A = this chain, B = another copy of it.
Amino acid sequence: MSRIFEVDTPAVLIDIDRVEASLKRAQDYADAHGIKLRPHIKTHKLPRFAKRAMALGAVGITVQKLGEAEVMADAGISEIFLPYNILGAAKLARLKALHERVHITVTADSVDIVAGLSSTFAHAAQPLTVLVECDTGMGRCGVQSPEAALELARTIAASPGLVFGGLMTYPAAGQVEANQAFLAAAKAALIAAGLAPAIISNGGTPDLWHAHEVTAATEHRPGTYIYMDRFQVSKGVGGFEDCALTVLATVVSRPTENRAIIDAGSKALTSDTLGMSGFGLIEAYPGAQIVGLSEEHGTIDLTGCVDKPQIGDKIRIIPNHACVVSNLFDRVTLISGDDVVESVRVDARGRVD
């Protein structure tokens, strides 16, 4: 069995013990509060972890692209939620083909989207379940008010080939009360109209441990929780000891006393800062700051370091944002402690459509 520092760089290491602990912690929390979990696979893009979450009790998985749904369906997962507005002939045909082999559910936030779905599924053997996406504060997709949610639910319920399945939101981080208020009002309006929502789906890792405060919701869709990252730690969702994904890099140059250059740049770490300073955390060198990235180089300022890494030294970086890193590597290396377990292909990487 080889050791992690023998892996060629740059490489993504996934600590499977931390993965298991995070999956269990979230499932235990959900069980304790009577919330269903429908984890988002965007963070890991690996069928094995999707299946493991379901074995622990998740009711299904969430994906963000048809291509991701296809990969997961091919891997044998049959309960898939795709909270996205699907439109256009090519994508609607793919959705219909998926619907014929797995139980796939989607969202809509406008009558245009509902019309396209209805014309596709009007003559299908089984209707398509559609949830109404609600903008409860994020400012992205979604209907803008509980009243608009009811109106669109009515449209879905009246559309051939479709079944109204409930509500979905991706909320703004930290806005638990506003999220709850919107969903509760929409739920009440739907019940009053005879359209009781079977599912009210809430999401996001930043407020995962507050999911039970959104009492209107029936389920939660966390994604990043499986790997965690520097951003989630900054939000207090977990500690660095929970971070399962690290990027292994090698110091390739020490051009000055206080500058180290590593072989991980934006093609390995991405330029996501998520409002933080620097491009990741190096636990072994707490005084080191990753101050700049070009595509194939990372620039580290060692001014604050007592022990400074030398050329050839390998370092592990907790990235700012784990999900985007998973999308950059064809393969990741599963590890346990300092031991390499297996190299696996990231099957759902790069599914752009």
Give every chain B residue within 8 A of A352 (Cβ-Cβ). Answer: 10-11, 267-268, 328-330
Q: Which residues of B contact A142 (CB under 8 A)?
A: 253, 255
How long is the Cα–Cα vector from A308 to B128 in the complex, in angstroms? 31
Closest to A327 in B: B267
CB distance from A182 to the nearest CB of B (A): 13
A8 within 8 A of B: yes
Residues of B with C-beta under 8 A to A328: 327, 350, 352
Closest chain B residue, CB of each to CB of A259: B139
* Pair B312/A329 contact, Cβ less than 8 Å: no
- Nearest B-chain residue to A264, judged by Cβ: B352
Chain B residues contacting A184 (CB-CB under 8 Å) are: none
Place the interface of chain A in its size category: 35 or more
Which residues does chain B contribute within 8 Å of A329, judged by CB atoms?
350, 352
Residues of chain B within 8 A (CB-CB) of A294 are: 140
Q: Does any Cβ of B come within 8 Å of A109's Cβ?
A: yes
Q: CB-nearest residue of chain B relative to A108? A: B253
Determine if A159 is an interface residue (Cβ-Cβ < 8 Å): no
Counting chain B CB atoms within 10 Å of each CB, which of A84, A113, A250, A271 scores highest? A271
A46 interface residue per 8 A CB criterion: no
A276 to chain B, nearest CB (A): 12
Interface residues of A in 260-310 (CB under 8 A from B): 261, 263, 266-268, 270-273, 294-297, 299
Please, which residues of chain B bring their CB within 8 A of the CB of A140? 253, 255, 261, 294, 297, 299
A-B contacts besides A8-B353, A110-B254, A141-B252, 20 pairs, CB < 8 Å: A8-B90, A9-B353, A10-B353, A11-B353, A64-B296, A65-B296, A87-B250, A87-B311, A113-B252, A113-B253, A135-B255, A141-B253, A144-B256, A266-B270, A266-B324, A268-B352, A271-B271, A295-B323, A295-B324, A295-B327
Residues of A that sit less than 8 Å from B by CB: 8-11, 42, 64-65, 84-85, 87-88, 90-91, 109-110, 112-113, 135, 139-144, 250, 252-256, 259, 261, 263, 266-268, 270-273, 294-297, 299, 311-312, 323-324, 327-330, 350, 352-353
In the assembled complex, 9 residue pairs joining A and B whose CB atoms fall closer than 8 Å, in A order, are: A42-B296, A84-B296, A87-B250, A87-B312, A88-B312, A143-B255, A144-B255, A267-B324, A295-B323
